[in-house]
Amino acid sequence: MDKVRVENLETEAVIGVYEFEHEAPQPLIIDFEMETDFTRAFLSDDLKDALDYDTISQGVRAFCQQSRYALLEALAGGIVRLLFENKAISKVSVRIRKPQALKGAMASVWCERSREQM
């Protein structure tokens, strides 16, 4: 299977379990990988036969900015569901980093799901 990876997508979201975290959006850094089949794109050299990672990235960024979750895990699940709206994607991996969550460390979650698992 072929893969498209987007790394270091910067966005923000109102996210957290503590009340003070609900006051303003916090920065997030997102990596995601999507499995698909490049065979048609190999032959056509046409964007309609590939994953448009710019459009997909804009969608992930907008989803995060509009979201309201307590947990990074729940946000990751929302991103997975969003990405699976594209029927050409068979498997998704998502990593979300929250730079301001811990002092002196980077908090992150990572998940992988196939279409069948969802």
- Which one, of 13, 60, 58, lies nearest residue 32 by Cα? 60
Q: Which helix (H) or strand (E) holds 94?
A: strand 91-102
Both tokens assigned to 46: 């046409």
- Which one, of 61, 54, 109, lies nearest residue 82 by Cα? 61
Q: What is the CATH number of the domain that holds 53?
A: 3.30.1130.10
- Residue 31 pairs in a beta bridge with 95
Q: Which domain holds residue 40?
A: 2-114
Q: From CA 26, how far away is CA 65, in angstroms rounded? A: 10
The structure's pTM equals 0.95
How many structural domains does the chain have? Answer: 1
pLDDT in tens, 20-69: 999 999 999 999 999 999 999 999 999 999 999 999 999 999 999 999 99
Both tokens assigned to 13: 């979201």
